[in-house]
Amino acid sequence: MIEQHQNLSYSILSMMIDEYFQTLATFPPCNLQQKVITKLLQHQDILIRAPTG
């Protein structure tokens, strides 16, 4: 029951973050950004690499 409640809370929070992201950036988060947001909400460490130059 608690896990089910946490999953529902996470789903609602995730939708709110997607909407907030779109409000700030004027476009929805891409798949990578959604994955990063998910990991951050779960208090997981992340490392992102991107080409520069």
Longest Cα–Cα distance in the chain: 50
Q: What is the pLDDT of residue 45?
A: 92
Q: What is the pLDDT of residue 5?
A: 56
DSSP symbol at 26: S
Give residue-wise pLDDT tens across range 21-53. 888 888 888 888 888 888 887 889 999 888 887
> Does the global pTM surpass 0.85?
no
Write out the DSSP string of 11-52. HHHHHHHHHHHHHHHSSPPPHHHHHHHHHHHTT---------
On whether the CB atoms of residues 37 and 17 are closer than 8 A, the answer is: yes
Q: Measured between alpha carbons, how far is 28 from 11 in angstroms, rounded to an integer?
A: 16
Q: Measured between alpha carbons, how far is 53 from 45 in angstroms, rounded to an integer?
A: 26
Give residue-wise pLDDT tens across range 8-19. 676 777 778 888
